[in-house]
Amino acid sequence: MSNAVINVCNQALSLVGADGNISSLSEDTQNARICNLWFNDSRDYLLTSFPWKFALQIAGYYEEWDSEKYYNWVGDLVSYNGSVYRSLKENNQNNLPTDTEWWELTEFVPLTLNSNGNYNIPSNCLRVFNIDNGSVPFKVIGDEIQIEHFFHELLYIKKCDELTGATKMFTRALAYHLAMEMSTTLATETRRQLELQEQYRKFVLPEALSIDSFQNQDSEIISNDWTNSRY
């Protein structure tokens, strides 16, 4: 478990007014057991509630690299050994995607087609956000995505189990959300529970979303059957 996760848990414990910090979620203490009970659900709930920039991931269906084919344009994308590469030069032929003179590795995720003609949801996907900026309709069926139109990019919210890349505003909001969930067990006064809820809903979360939205102006959450069945 990362230091970031433990720090959020200890911030939440402090907000609730619990005595003592934890150093691991597997500790045999009440504080650790309560944190372990609520942390994953709180983290994933907050991640899926808004398109936090650090948690967004681009995926697409990219053709497999072919040594016999000319890639005539700078920016051509190909899939190779489970990764996606972008061509750096014109007339790119017979140059392995691992050749950094001709190709660069991207952070894109290749989608795979299954026997049903649908795309498999990436293993690290929490929520499908949109396709081609919302212009292409889709339907999530179990762990598959049904897309009947040509598309370029699928945007999804990825899992962030260890909070890698999470912003300070997100981790602060998560600490408050976690504190709210744990307060029913750990808070000694009902008044503290109500205070946490009011601070989170009126100040902490709106501030975090406002700051994140400056970097993510065009995003809007879209509900779908897959997410609604889970949250």
- Which residue do the tokens 């402090």 mark? 14
43-55 average pLDDT score:
96
Indicate whether 231 pLDDT > 60: no
pTM of the predicted protein model = 0.85
Q: Please, are residues 117 and 129 in contact by the beta-carbon 8 Å criterion?
A: no
Indicate whether 228 pLDDT > 70: no
- The tens digit of pLDDT for each residue in 160-215 reads 999 999 999 999 999 999 999 999 999 888 899 999 999 999 999 999 999 998 76
Where is average pLDDT lowest: 8-17, 22-31, 68-77, 120-129?
Answer: 68-77
Please state the domain extents for the chain: 3-53+162-228, 55-158
Per DSSP bridges, beta strands 109-110 and 56-60 are: parallel
Indicate whether 126 pLDDT > 90: yes
* Model pLDDT, residue 215: 62
Helices (H), the chain: 3-16, 30-49, 168-186, 190-199, 205-214, 225-228
- What is the arrangement of strands in the sheet containing 109-110, beginning at the earlier edge strand? 109-110, 56-60, 154-158, 125-131
